[in-house]
Amino acid sequence: MISTVKIFLRAALAISFLSAVADRFGFWNESVSVWGNWNNFVVYTQVINPWIPASLIPGLAIVATIAEIIFAIGLLIGFKTELVARLSGVLLLLFALSMTFSTGIKGAFDYSVFSASAAAFALSLMKQKFLEVDQLLA
């Protein structure tokens, strides 16, 4: 059971990261898109990070996007899952806190960013030794 939950968490987090990246590159239909293109994503990055100088925002948007791609791939292939999950949790928590302090807590709750962060942290705690116990119970 734990192995099934672990796979589900890995896939859900990875696909969510890749969906967000696809959105900012315009791969989603405009009717379901949040940003729709890179420029809108950079503007939103500034909105939720008003304390960061405007000159650093494009770099922050690039770093966040690269991190999401790397974390998604790591989660999908199961590479250093505990570490990648922990880093994913930190990234999502930073995103949730940025949303909360800049635009209010409702957006972070509506987009389930705190929930996704908690899921990533939970995944980071699922160690192999628990899988052995789970297999004995199956």
* 123 close to 10: Cβ distance less than 8 angstroms: yes
* The one-letter amino acid at 36: G
Q: What is the pTM of this model?
A: 0.87
Structural domain range at position 67? 2-137
CA distance 2 to 123: 10
Who contacts 131 (Cβ-Cβ below 8 Å, separation ≥6)? 2, 3, 6
Q: How many domains does the chain have?
A: 1
Q: How far is CA 128 from CA 4, 74, 118, 133, in A?
A: 13, 17, 19, 9
pLDDT digits (tens, 9 = 90+) for 72-119: 999 999 999 999 999 999 999 999 999 999 999 999 999 999 999 999
